[in-house]
Amino acid sequence: MTLELVDRDQHRRLAREARDGYVKGPDAPIEAAAAALAKAEAARSVMLVEGISDQIALETLAGRQGRNLEAERIVIVPVGGAQAIPRYLGLFGPQGKSLPITGMCDAGEELLVRRGLSAGGLGSPRNRLEMEQLGFFVCVDDLEQELIRASDRAAIEALLESQGDLSSFRTMQNQPAWRGRGFEAQLHRWIRAGARRNLRYAHLLTLSLRPDRLPRPLEAVLAATGAQTEGAGR
């Protein structure tokens, strides 16, 4: 589904639906992790991500690809920050439940995740390529930047207008601290300025991308997770 095929009313409905089923509020990271852990009791595979926006983007992309992660018994666990990933690698890896594990992190947390993979007994990746061979992928620099780069300015501005958010974004663009900065940097700051906005646009940007412009880390981690699950089922 691409942006031009979705009218304004549909976009607003989809934005509301993007938040349905996801916890909100100051305790959201803890509650989201707890909910995913409960589902993971019956999982065939788990995918570790830093936060709820990553979870939303990946579940949205899986839906676009016609996949049903619940039916595949793949559980995406938003761990509440990359600093928690090593603990979850221990919980689900060979030192714990011995489930197939994949994951995605921001570039700033790459070294931490590499160390966690080593400590958890999953391997000792020395670089990003070796991380990918273990099923872990890096967003540069983060999820939002991957999604922004994968789209184009006109499509993004049309999406903002469909949500009634374009005037708010224009106001931020005209602030002295942001006037003259690049469009991508401005949009990145605006999206991350609020948790609810972050969740909405993780869904809407992923939904509106052209099929040939999907961010590689998202597409690759879903493919790796599917391959691991199929292998575990044989």
This prediction has a pTM of 0.87
CATH of 22-145+212-233, one of 1.10.357, 3.30.70, 3.60.21, 3.40.50: 3.40.50
- The rounded distance, in Å, linking the Cα atoms of 24 and 81 is 16
- Domain locations in the chain as residue ranges: 22-145+212-233
pLDDT for position 4? 39
pLDDT in tens, 137-163: 999 999 999 999 999 999 999 999 999
- The rounded distance, in Å, linking the Cα atoms of 176 and 47 is 41
What is the spatial order of strands in the sheet that 74-78 belongs to? Answer: 74-78, 45-49, 101-106, 136-139
CA distance readout (Å), 26 to 30, 119, 210: 9, 31, 34
pLDDT in tens, 70-123: 999 999 999 999 899 999 999 999 999 999 999 999 999 999 999 999 999 999
- The rounded distance, in Å, linking the Cα atoms of 116 and 155 is 38
pLDDT for residue 7 is more than 60: no
- Strand stretches in the chain, DSSP E: 45-49, 74-78, 101-106, 136-139
